[in-house]
Chain A
Amino acid sequence: MKMARTVIPFGPQHPVLPEPIHLKLELEDEKVVGVTPVIGYIHRGIEKAAELNSFRQNVSLMDRICGICSFIHALTYCQGIEALMGVEVPPRARFLRVFWSELSRTHSHLLWLGLFADAMGFESLFMQCWRAREIILDISEMTAGHRIIQSTCTIGGVKRDIDKEMSNEVNRRLLAFKGMMDKTISPVFLHDPTIKRRIAGKGVLPKEQAELLGAVGPVARGSGVSIDIRQTGYAAYKEVGFEPVVETAGDGYARTLVRIREVYQCLELMPEALSMMPDGEILVRVDGYPEGETVSRCEQPRGEVIYYLRGNGTNNLERLKIRTPTFANIPALLVTLPGCELADVPVLTLLIDPCISCTER
């Protein structure tokens, strides 16, 4: 007998979703058999706004596409403009860009770990994650002047420098942060039997499907696909040295593990970048207007971000197109949901680390 299907709306307002996305879940009994995503609740028209602003003003706009990966958005944009205008960024600025990129990544992963714990109803772990994240936000405030939107990247370099004294203080605080990771966060996420039951073997995305569906970031790396744009060595990743974190199981546990290991990787990359940083200028003067087309890519905490830029020799860009990582991971989400229980949907949705404001621009 064919079972009757029920359609349950998940979102756009839902306790586990800080941002609105709507999934129409088709259920047979408690089992999800189909998903239809509806997006567009917070479309802000940023691509169009970028065509109306001057290309220099756009840096501040890009900073505000997303709260949690704001620095990397600005970085991708600046790298694109610099490629169009043939600007050589000073080496010190390239290392500083690595530092702030990794700081954003740490802060983003911690945010996600907290939200994820909250989605599972693990309130105390949620508080612990965000408590640890506070150290990272303090470092951000100390080095950039802002807790969330660092706004330090600009065309031709960076706006702020980090001196020796400050970098020592950063290292000291990172050590305190690592202590919290070691003591509470990482053992609980990786060993707690309750958490394991909620994520181990759930939301499996095999390697072939991850490739086929164009998954990026920790979602792809958790399925054994070794995509990480940092491997191309943009900014100073070539000098700092970088190996992507890859897990092969493809389930929720693997994705969590990738993110936790990436936090530890960030904790190595940040002091590395600060210590290898050469002396010198942090910003070069950029004259003229961008002309031509280019594609710029960076690795965000959620995966690869692609910017397409087209300039026509005026103060305004002719076209700016942004492909964010969550956008690329939505097909992967739609494949992992069918077959799961309704109660697993919030956890599985969070496992792709959805950043809807990025996605909708």
Chain B
Amino acid sequence: MENEILVEKAELVPAVQRMLAEKARFGTATCLDRGDKFEIVYHFEPQESPEPLTHIRVSIAKEDTLPSISSIYFCAALIESEMQDHFDIQISGTAFDFQRRFIRSRESPEAELLKPASYELRPPARLPVRCGEACPAGIDIPRYVRFIGEGKFAEALAVIKQALPFPGILGRVCFAPCENACRQSKQEETIAIRMLKRFVYEKATYEEKVTAEATHKRVAIIGSGPAGLTAAYYLAKMGHGVTIFEALPQAGGMMRVGIPAYRLPRKILDDEIDMVKKLGVEIRTNTRVEFLDKLFSDGYQATLVATGAHQEMKMGIAGEEHPKVMDCINFLRDVNFGQPVELGNRVVVIGGGNAAIDSARTALRLGAKEVSIFYRRTSAEMPAHRSEVEEAMKEGVKIEFLVAPKSVLSKSARQALAGGSETITLESFRMKLGAPDPGGRPHPEPIEGSEFRVDFDSVIAAIGQHPEFAAQFKLKTGRENVIVVNSRTRATSRKGVFAAGDVIGGPASVVEAVKTGKEAAISIDKYLGGDGIVRVEEIKVKEPTSRHTFIERWGRESKQVEMPSLAIEDRLSGFDEVELGLSEEIAIAEGQRCWRCDLEE
């Protein structure tokens, strides 16, 4: 055979020792019965090259004794023992004795070989957690909550910033799907994850820096809402030149026109938008984009459509065109931009979503005395966030369930005779819940003959929005005008055009828009030739590896902290923020309350 060393019996042990010195690996040994003699071939794998093997061949007479090599290579003992069994070959000096185990060896005495090895426990991979999985933006929630509990606020903010550009905004307006998922709610109360985010944004600072080299590629973003701003933030960080076009006089999209100031103070919104601007993003307000071709001919290599869902749906009832019947998007936009809105004393809001609650609470702040909400299903089916509904009811909003409008009756003639101000009468049905519709919610059906009439000064319709965008964009659209995109890359039917936010999925939340904006930014970077990797700051802190570290928490039940809020009488006089924020001690205590489901037991 190739690479074969033929040795005499006496030279065997030195030859094998040379193999050990060369750090060859012992493969096995083969015994051949050649009639009058045994031939034994030892196969070794040399260290430098696995192929070809080196073989040592020795021949012995049948009655001769073969010296064992097991004191050099322990593992040879087993094959030697097998050769003894199969061929009756005599082998001397076996180091490996099955009865007393490893009894002799050149270097390793028994004690050493049997000693358990020193073993350092690896830092265990952290477990997937419900709150983190529920977060559309994918924030490492248990980690930042833990950091807050340890008083490491800067690190906590950095953890949030790894996944999300706008902790300030989301700390105030996020509907916190993480809190619904929190495992702690099964036994006690959930962790106030959103309030902690808000706290840490106010407490700590985070320095934004662009580390990527400029790519000299230009991206146009249409719409400065959460999706557009998020995409701009990430694209700017990846080194692209970004311009945002905004049709309205101020940036912020639905965050500015749809969310009232008592929930999202304008200073926070402006600060976050300024942060994006500081990264080099240009925002052109009062600029409506009519044609996408224009952008491409202006030298933009890619475009993101993030125009949101700003078109209120029609109720489809008689008398809807009455001037005192308004839709909530126009109503909120006028209020948020400081336009005068005449509501009168009695206001009714139709609908059960967050926009309806926002409209109702805003109407109260504009001086309306009686504000009602008519919703056609029951409180269990209401899409609005529960805490928002509770706050609205505390402030005096009346909610009537199982009511749907039938028609608006104008009584101007009669009112004119009486000399009072113009009143409208809303004729409504009482409803009952029927079979579930395709969305899974029970379909409300009107009860025949249950019509009733109530007088109001104005009616605000808040029954849902859909995207409105220029047909000239020539993009493929689906139901209710949403743009059809690839669910992974967010690419539209046109090359180089991407879409994100409410315009692709209908009205959702800020955090959903942030998620799709980030995904679109990654695809745009890849489309422009980048690697599509969002580089985040690493946080180098020694972290606990076991839940046992927090053993002091075991067996105690605790309650969620209560967010201090503005007194009801102070709220209605203006648009001051309702939630007041947590103090440092309370925030730390809340952070320590977390069960740390991400750590091993």
Contacts and interface: CB of A to CB of B under 8 A. Distances in A.
Nearest to A330: B78
Nearest to B52: A295
A339 B75 contact: no
A39 B463 CA distance: 78
B50 A323 contact: no
Contact of A304 (B27, B41, B117): B27
A163 to B, nearest CB: 31
Given A196-B124, A308-B43, A331-B75, A319 B119 contact: no
Contacts of A190: 125
B98 A37 contact: yes
A319 B30 contact: yes
Contacts of A214: 25-27, 73-76
Interface string B42-60: 0100000011010100000
Greatest chain A CB density within 10 A among B25, B33, B75, B77 is at: B75
Which 6 pairs between the two chains have the least Cβ-Cβ distance?
A: A214-B75, A323-B28, A206-B117, A321-B30, A308-B30, A204-B117
Interface size class on chain A is: 35 or more
B117 A295 contact: no
B10 interface: no
Given A214-B25, A232-B51, A331 B74 contact: yes
Contacts of B118: 206
Contacts of B298: none
A227 interface: yes
Interface in A131-164: none
B101 interface: yes
A330 B55 CA distance: 23
A191 B125 contact: yes
A213 B74 contact: yes
Interface string B560-573: 00000000000000
A205 interface: yes
A295 B26 contact: no
A295 B57 CA distance: 13
Interface of A: 34-37, 40, 187, 190-191, 193, 196, 200-201, 204-206, 209, 211-214, 227, 229, 231-232, 249-251, 253, 292-295, 297, 304, 306, 308, 310, 318-319, 321, 323, 327-328, 330-331, 334-335, 338-339
Contacts, number: 102
Interface in B496-547: none
Nearest to B599: A193
Interface string B112-147: 011111110110110110000000000000000000
A295 B43 CA distance: 8
Interface of B: 1, 25-28, 30-33, 41, 43, 50-51, 53, 55, 73-79, 85, 96, 98-99, 101, 108, 113-119, 121-122, 124-125, 127-128, 600-601
Contacts of A36: 98-99, 101
Contacts of B601: 193
A338 B114 contact: yes
Given A231-B50, A306-B27, A191 B128 contact: yes
A191 B124 CA distance: 9
A308 B41 CA distance: 9
Contact of A334 (B101, B127, B600): B101
Contacts of B108: 212
A334 B96 CA distance: 11
7 contacts: A187-B128, A204-B117, A206-B118, A209-B113, A308-B30, A319-B32, A331-B75
A204 B26 contact: no
B121 A200 contact: yes
B27 A335 contact: no
A278 to B, nearest CB: 24
A228 to B, nearest CB: 9
B40 to A, nearest CB: 11
A323 B79 contact: yes
A197 to B, nearest CB: 9
Given A36-B98, A308-B28, A328-B75, 5 more contacts: A294-B1, A297-B27, A308-B43, A319-B32, A328-B28
B71 to A, nearest CB: 12
Contacts of A310: 32
Contact of B122 (A187, A229, A249): A249
Given A193-B600, A308-B41, A339-B114, A293 B25 contact: no
Nearest to A339: B116
A169 B177 CA distance: 39
Contacts of A193: 600-601
Greatest chain B CB density within 10 A among A187, A214, A249, A293 is at: A214
Nearest to B116: A339
B522 to A, nearest CB: 21
B98 A204 contact: no
Nearest to B73: A214
Contacts of A205: 117
